[in-house]
A = this chain, B = another copy of it.
Amino acid sequence: MLTKKKKRWDDIPGCSLEAALNVIGGKWKGVFLFHLLDGTMRFNELSRLAQGASPRLIVKQLRELEEDGLVNRKVYAVVPPKVEYSLTEEGHSLHNILHALSEWGDLWVDNHPVEPVTKP
């Protein structure tokens, strides 16, 4: 039997905001969740969203989202293999937050242009 790993936010007792950020704050989790709002996606589609990320990381992020109850993983017993990812109801409950974050980030990026690295 499996020995359950401690949750990643165990050491932040009582802080629900930190818990939320830990759940959605992984490198690509926000992106995945956001795009999954529009419907199910396959592994390769998600990979394309995470340009340059190795499969290892993509799998890890998806597995954590699954463990945390935000994402469903449905495996079809066909060949070639087919796996579909979709949001659980809990995942969909992030809809407003994800859109708010996206809009806020949009404004923020506009107001904070990336300055070209100044020559010494």
Contacts and interface: CB of A to CB of B under 8 A. Distances in A.
A15 interface: yes
- Copies of the chain in the assembly: 2
Nearest to A24: B21
A26 to B, nearest CB: 9
Contacts of A104: 16, 20, 93-94, 97
A63 B10 CA distance: 26
Contacts of A112: 7, 68-69
Interface in A20-34: 20-21, 23-25, 30-31, 34
Residue of A7, A100, A106, A108 contacting most chain B CB atoms (<10 Å): A108
A79 interface: no
A65 to B, nearest CB: 12
Interface of A: 1-4, 6-7, 10, 15-21, 23-25, 30-31, 34, 68-69, 90, 93-94, 96-98, 100-109, 111-112, 114-115, 117-120
8 contacts: A3-B117, A3-B118, A15-B105, A17-B98, A19-B108, A20-B102, A69-B111, A97-B104
